[in-house]
Amino acid sequence: MEEKKNILEIKNLNVEYSSSEIFTKNKYYCALDNLSLNIPAGIAIGIVGESGSGKSTLARALVRLLDIFNYNVKVSGEILFYTVDNVTDINKAKAKQLKKIRKEIQIIFQDPASSLSPKMTARELISEPLCNYFNLSNKEVSQKLSEWLELTGLGNIDADSYPRQLSGGQRQKVAIARSLAARPSVLIADEIVSALDVSVQGQILNLISDLKSKFNLTLIFISHDLSVVRNISDYVVVMNEGKIVEEGNTDEIFNNPQNDYTKKLLSSIPLVKFPH
């Protein structure tokens, strides 16, 4: 661990949601509680925990998506993002820096049916980051588009189809192509297989790990499915109630868990084999 340079350092991250009802005192619900975590560059880190443990909140906090539309959320602490030549605190970044950071840290959401706009075609969806983050001519955009479709195994679909015309797996591949088209250095996969058929899950996981090594990504893989995390990640973080209860190399955690919660979680793994 120590020999690698950190790409993300989370220091004392607090996320609180408040209920803003009139005539009542604001109640706070703590989604992340003083969370600190270092993420080395190039690693595949798995974050596990049951529903409501704050995994997705963490994922969204890393891209600063929590406070865009929600005025009842309080985020404090630091998230340092290291690039080759400088460091930025994501929580304090201004709009311009934020756009750069969002290019570098991409997120794939759980359900591709809701994370892809139903009124946009695959072509429009994948071209979007290409047009926004790079200065490309129309010809270059369509060339890149077909490259990405090819890379994610979508070479055979009609680029002008809407998400509803694609299968679940194809949709998630479009979402992956869209995220990677920004050429990020960090990829956050937030439960990307839990909305999919078991038969497609393996396909998507293989694709993700292939692309990870191909583009030398840092992968933050979030899942409640422990066997999936075991397959894909080098390092595992176990979360419960907004806190990290245990972290360590995958083998250590799975073979010799120390924390009670981790033990409980591990004992609940159903026996499913994934092709790898």
Partner 1 sequence: MKLFSKKYGRMWKYFKSRKSGYVSFIILSGAYVLSFILPVFIGSDALVVRYNGDYYFPVFKHYESTVFGQNYEGEANYRFLKKTFKSENNGNFVIMPLYPYGAEENLLNEIQGNPPHPPSGNNIFGTDESGRDVFAKVFYGFRISFSFSLLVTLISFVIGIIFGSLSGYYRGWIDTTGQRFVEIMLSIPFLYIMMILASIFRPGFYMLVIMLSVFGWMAISLYVRGEFLRESAKDYVLSAVTAGSSNLRIIIKHILPNALTPVISFLPFVIVANISSLVSLDFLGFGIPPPSPSWGNMISQGLNNLNNWWLALFPLSALFVTLMLIVLIGESFRYALNPEGKISNSGAKK
- Which residue stretch of 118-126, 207-215, 236-244, 266-274 sits at the interface with partner 1 (rule: CB under 8 A)? 118-126
Q: Are 104 and 183 in contact (CB under 8 A)?
A: no
- Which residue stretch of 12-20, 74-82, 127-135, 268-276 sits at the interface with partner 1 (rule: CB under 8 A)? 127-135
Q: Which residue has the tokens 């088209």?
A: 181
Q: Are 221 and 43 in contact (CB under 8 A)?
A: no
Residue 225 is inside which H or E element, if any? none
- By C-beta, is 212 or 230 nearer to partner 1? 212
Please report how close the Cβ of residue 22 comes to partner 1 at its closest, in angstroms: 12
Q: Which of 17, 133, 254, 274 binds partner 1 (CB under 8 A)?
A: 133
For the chain, helix (H) and strand (E) counts, in that order, are: 10, 10
Return the bridge partners of 68, or none: none
Site for partner 1 in 37-56 (CB under 8 A): none
- By C-beta, is 36 or 117 nearer to partner 1? 117
Query: What is the maximum span of the chain, computed from C-alpha positions, in angstroms?
Result: 58
The yes or no reply on residue 264 touching partner 1 (CB under 8 A) is no
# of chain residues touching partner 1 (CB under 8 A):
35
Q: Which of 10, 43, 79, 182 binds partner 1 (CB under 8 A)?
A: 182
Q: Which of 88, 152, 170, 179 binds partner 1 (CB under 8 A)?
A: 179
Please report how close the Cβ of residue 87 comes to partner 1 at its closest, in angstroms: 21
Burial label, 227 (beta-carbon count in 10 A; 0-12, 13-18, 19+): middle
Closest CA relative to residue 239, chosen from 26, 23, 30: 30
> Cβ of 128: how many Cβ atoms within 10 Å?
16
Three-state DSSP class for residue 216? coil
- By C-beta, is 124 or 241 nearer to partner 1? 124
The yes or no reply on residue 65 touching partner 1 (CB under 8 A) is yes
Q: Are 28 and 18 in contact (CB under 8 A)?
A: yes
The yes or no reply on residue 91 touching partner 1 (CB under 8 A) is no
Encoded amino acid at 275, one letter: P
Please report how close the Cβ of residue 72 comes to partner 1 at its closest, in angstroms: 11
Q: Which of 88, 110, 223, 240 binds partner 1 (CB under 8 A)?
A: 110
Please report how close the Cβ of residue 70 comes to partner 1 at its closest, in angstroms: 9
Q: Which residue has the tokens 């994610």?
A: 152
- By C-beta, is 43 or 116 nearer to partner 1? 116
In angstroms, what CA-CA distances link 194 with 62, 166, 224?
A: 21, 17, 9
Q: Which residues bind partner 1 (CB under 8 A)?
A: 60, 63, 65, 68-69, 71, 99, 102-103, 106-107, 109-111, 114-121, 123-124, 127-129, 132-133, 160, 164, 175, 178-179, 182
